[in-house]
């Protein structure tokens, strides 16, 4: 991947996050109040709710060689890695933040995402993630604690 493109993408992403943290209604980075989300962020929340309910009928039909449990494991890891990437970018680009997650763990994050997605199943998954980050922000770790 082109390094310049990668840095530019992260900068745009950081601006979107920064704007979203400043106000619950502002998520925009362009003049038309739009931004682009990659990967799972583009999916509607209703897909995440189906996943959490282990309703993977479409995937089961597309990939019959895998069991339902195997498909769930695969999707679960994809979701966890997308969340981790989002949070890593957030921590890198949002000032006064070492770790926005603080004492929360992945299970807590996924439960929060599910709650947000159930409240508005038509929103994009990235919007649910932004809402979770806004909830976590007050209890974030601001600086790394280094033990000697």
Asked if 113 and 129 touch (Cβ cutoff 8 Å), the reply is yes
Closest CA to 126 of 22, 48, 24, 40: 40
pLDDT tens digit string along 15-29?
444 434 443 333 446
Mapped to the 3 state alphabet, what secondary structure does 90-110 carry? HHHHCCCCCECCCCCCHHHHH
Rounded to an integer, what distance in angstroms lies between the CA atom of residue 104 and that of residue 137? Answer: 11
Q: What is the largest CA-CA distance in the chain?
A: 54
Please give the average per-residue pLDDT across 74-102, as a whole number: 94
Domain boundaries, the chain: 3-139
The DSSP code for 66 is: S
Q: What is the average pLDDT score of the chain?
A: 83
Residue 42 binned pLDDT confidence (cut-offs 50, 70, 90): very high
């Amino acid at each position: 991947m082109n390094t310049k493109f990668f840095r530019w993408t992260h900068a745009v992403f950081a601006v979107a996050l920064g704007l979203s943290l400043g106000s619950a209604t502002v998520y925009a980075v362009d003049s038309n109040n739009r931004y682009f989300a990659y990967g799972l962020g583009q999916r509607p929340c209703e897909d995440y709710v189906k996943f959490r309910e282990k309703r993977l009928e479409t995937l089961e039909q597309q990939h019959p060689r895998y069991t339902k449990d195997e498909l769930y494991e695969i999707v679960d890891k994809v979701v966890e890695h997308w969340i981790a990437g989002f949070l890593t970018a957030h921590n890198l680009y949002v000032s006064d933040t070492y770790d926005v997650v603080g004492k929360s763990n992945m299970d807590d994050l996924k439960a929060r995402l599910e709650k947000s997605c159930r409240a508005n199943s038509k929103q994009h998954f990235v919007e649910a993630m932004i809402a979770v980050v806004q909830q976590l922000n007050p209890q974030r770790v601001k600086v790394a604690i280094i033990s000697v």
